[in-house]
Structure 1
Amino acid sequence: MAKADSGNRNRGDNLNVDFMRSLVKQYSELGQWTSAFFWADAAAASSGTEAASGDDIWLLSSAMLSRGELHRAAHAVTSRGLHMSHLLCLGVAMRAFVAAKEPSTALNLMDECYPSLLEPRNMDQTHNRALSGVLVTQARALTALERRDAAVEALKTALRADVACYEALDLLLEQHALTPALEKELIQSLPINNQLNASEAALLRAAYRERVLRYAPLPTTPQEGEPAVPAAVEVSRSRSVTGAEARGRQLAA
């Protein structure tokens, strides 16, 4: 009888923890970070603060970060050593230190983690997406330290790990880190077909091509055999919302 009671109690506890985790995710999606923090703290405490799972601490520290509790968010991870073995925890701790204007500390966390944690995995795109986020944060930290060449390499690596990580591409374009030719070469070199199916790959290429065009400089000299004004007008039009809508209607026709 005692064993049955114990088993029922354990099942009830698991259901309660799962319910609390679901509340954390729901309130996080709604941007209600105080509620998310309350339930994340409760979920972590339900198994004891030292025995809490990496995922629970990630949810807790993410809520802290969103509430502006930067050092608490980082401490929740680093005090348990989770930045060494849990990629999501590493990412949130690094973001906390970057937001706290401590980029060197953020980079030090990467030096302390297990090397295999920072390697892409062929059959695990969830891991690769988390890795890409860590690399983007690394690039932000490197940029803050004026190590721009290293930041560019980190962003390239982030894009290769997760070709859909638009944030990495956006940072490269905003910083004018590459020439238009190198931007095109980078996009063509991405392992898009390895990570996406045919329709997804076509969508991503079209979206990235459109984004790169918006950052491309206007031609200062006419192409051979083409009038100067229409060429400039066409490039300007391609960057406008009207131009994008017109091309969309043409594709749909």
Structure 2
Amino acid sequence: MMRERELQKLRSVARDCLAKHLYSSAIFFADKLVTAGSGLAQDVYLQAQALYQGRQHRRALHLLRTHRLLSAHPRFRYLAAKCLEETKEWEECLAVLGDCEIDEHGNYQMNEDQEVEYCDQDGEDREINIAAALCLLRGRAFEALENRSRALRWYKAALKVDPYCYEAFEHLIDNHMLSSDEEAHLLSSLKFDSQDRWLSLLYSCQSKKYGQVSLIESKLAELEREPHETQLEEQAGCSLKDNTDVLACRADLFYHRGEFQLCYEVTKSLLEKDPYHLKSMPLHLGAALELGRKNELFLRAHNLVQEYPQKAIAWFAVGCYYYCIRQFDHARRYFCKATSLDVSFAPAWLGFGNAYAAQDESDQAMAAYRTAARLFAGCHLPALCIGMEYLRTNNLNLAQQARPKPFFMQARSICPTDPLVYNELGVMAFRNKDYEGAARWLRKSLSFVPPRLTDAWEPTVVNLAHTLRKLKLYTEAITMYEKALALSPRGASTCAALGFTYHLQGNTGIAIEYYHKALGLKPDDTFTAEMLTVALISASDQALLDTRNFPF
């Protein structure tokens, strides 16, 4: 038998090998340690950790079971369950984790043995509560088994046990498991320490942002503020200025406000600083797609496929490039590949549906959107896209009579502050000739848009102008058309509509000017050409009438 001094030396060597990622060496020394030390629980755990890190998952599980340690302490049970997670044996993983309860408030009921591992959170050595890790692993197992309702409960329980369990928060946010109201309620229920305000702020900034523009901006400003700039104890306490996650939050805010150029600039600078910050990559690709930056999309896609061929984001980038150059067959093929690699990657499902819709393949587009709606219950975009597809194919009855509620109303109930939802409600009312209702929805849409309008909101302004023209409110309609032209000066259809409105008012001369401008931008517009002819005839008739009445 080895002396205690020699055993301690072996423990130190094995731990150092793990720290240096020398897993074979760690396994070798830990194995000798277990044999020489008569199988002490701490030594068995060290060997099991080495086996797990060395990807010998079944051997690690066998070791823990052989020494009957699964019921000795939560950390042994957790490591055994992690081994089963790696081998995708989800049912057995849940069996090893054991039966536990969540009360009606979503709080996890900890046992006494689990509380042993709950370290002093006010001390310098802050550790994640083992109970939170157990809840997280249960959530992952239920999500893999497609029991998303139970997965949701366990992720929420993990966060409530320990707000530092970021992976649980990441699953809830990235997989769109909660609506915006549910996210806000969950964050308000978390018990952050006073010195953890920065974490509370960052969680808030990473959640859904519709209708919270000024609030999110103030929180981002607080996160970026230097400590000497404020004397208030409740402030963030540390500056996260130029932190990549904070920059990604700001880019996300710009994207949801329709400020794609600003979003693109922020994500580009972020990726220059950290080229492998994959969390910001969907935002960067989305902004580049909106701006038509096909060269940027090509280069990003090429690099991502080289670096991460097994990640969904790489093939999503390829799909975005082909979508940008309007090769929709190729786009949907790569979006499909992205969804096969990661079924929970929401942007790929939406891109998949959009690529089908761009080719008028409505049934396949609907299938993709419905799958997204099932997988991402907290995301309003799939229901919104389904409603938009029904509008595009002129199926107004299906768009309005869906059960349990119409698709646009479903989207509204999930995210009641997205301007695009109200724009589509306004379009549907317009199609139904309910012009007063359309005007009401479109005005509400613009009320949720930041005061500094960008060209992304030009269609909504034009839609409202069309509606006002139908209501014969010509002066207001002209104001909205002019606002739309300020946002997008080369809008041929807007020029034609503005000319038509002046024509209806009887201002034939101004109408002719705008008809000419519209035809200069789009010479093959038959409607504008016909209306220009009518206006010219009307103007000549009026001129002839004026000449006849002139007293020579």
TM-score range, shorter chain: 0.7 to 0.9
> Which secondary structure state, in structure 1, belongs to the residue aligned with residue 3 of structure 2?
helix
Rounded to whole Å, the distance in 2 between the matches of 1:82 and 1:120 is 16
CA contact (8 A) 1:83 1:90 kept: yes
Instruction: Check 1:120–1:171 CA distance in 2 against 1; reply closer, same or farther (3 A cut).
Output: farther
Residue number among 109, 113, 118 corresponding to 1:117 in the alignment = 113
Q: Does the 8 Å contact 1:121/1:127 carry over to 2?
A: no
Deviation sequence 1:118-155 (CA, Å, 0-9, x none): 45877655786222222211111111112111111111
Q: Which amino acid aligns with 2:14?
A: V
One of 20, 24, 41 as aligned partner of 2:31: 41
Q: Which stretch has the larger CA shift, 94-103 or 130-139?
A: 130-139
Separation of aligned partners in 1, 2:120 and 2:142: 27
Q: 1:18 to 1:185 in 2, by over 3 A?
A: farther
Equivalent residue number for residue 182 of structure 1: 182
- Partner residue, 1:71: 58
Q: Deviations over 1:14-67 (max 9, x none)?
A: 232233222333222222211222222222222223xx22x3222211211122
Deviations 1:172-207 (A, max 9, x none): 1122111122112212211112xxxx33x1221132
Match of 1:31 in 2: 21
> In the superposition, relative to structure 1, how do residues 39 and 211 fare at CA in structure 2: closer, same or farther (>3 Å)?
farther
Instruction: Say which is worse superposed, 34-43 or 218-227, in terms of deviation.
Output: 218-227
Equivalence for 2:129:
129
Question: What is the rounded CA distance, in whole Å, between the counterparts of 1:183 and 1:28 in structure 2?
Answer: 38
Length-normalised TM-score, structure 2: 0.35
Larger RCO: Structure 1 or Structure 2 (Cα < 8 Å, ≥ 6 residues apart)? 1
Q: Where does structure 2 lack aligned partners over 5 or more consecutive residues?
A: 101-109, 209-248, 257-417, 421-444, 458-552
Q: In 1, distance between residues paired with 2:135 and 2:5?
A: 35
Q: CA RMSD in A?
A: 3.2
State the alpha-carbon separation in 2 of the partners of residues 152 and 120 from structure 1: 26
- Paired residues in the alignment total 215
- Structure-2 residue corresponding to 1:60: 47
Q: Who is 1:239 aligned against? A: none
Matched with 1:147 is: 147
Larger Rg: 2
Residues 36, 112 of structure 1: CA spacing in aligned structure 2 closer, same or farther, 3 A cutoff? Answer: farther
Task: Give the counterpart letter for 2:54 in structure 1.
Answer: R
Range 59-68 or range 91-100, more displaced? 59-68
Q: Which moved more, 1:21-30 or 1:139-148?
A: 21-30
Moved more, 105-114 or 79-88: 105-114
Shift of 1:222: 3.6
Aligned to 2:201: 206
Cα distance in structure 2, aligned partners of 1:116 and 1:128: 17
1:249 maps to: none
Residues 184-234 of structure 1 deviation map (CA, whole Å, 9 limit, x = unaligned):
2212211112xxxx33x122113222322557893433435843636x89x
The 1:84/1:122 distance shift into structure 2, 3 A limit, reads closer
> Aligned residue for 2:282?
none
Q: Which moved more, 1:149-158 or 1:116-125?
A: 116-125
Residues 70-89 of structure 1 mapped to structure 2, 5 A cutoff: 70-89=57-76
Question: Cα distance 1:224–1:130, how it changes in 2: closer, same or farther (>3 A)?
Answer: closer
Could you state the TM-score of these two structures normalised by the residue count of structure 1? 0.72
- C-alpha distance in structure 1 between counterparts of 2:11 and 2:129, whole Å: 21
Deviation at 1:170, TM superposition (A): 0.7
Structure 2 CA distance for partners of 1:76 and 1:87, relative to 1, 3 Å: same
Aligned equivalents of 1:227, 1:149: Cα separation in 2: 39
Q: Secondary structure at the match of 2:135?
A: helix
Q: CA deviation at 1:100?
A: 0.7
Pick the structure with more helix per residue: 1
SS state at 1:83 partner = coil
% same residue: 23
AA aligned opposite 2:198: L
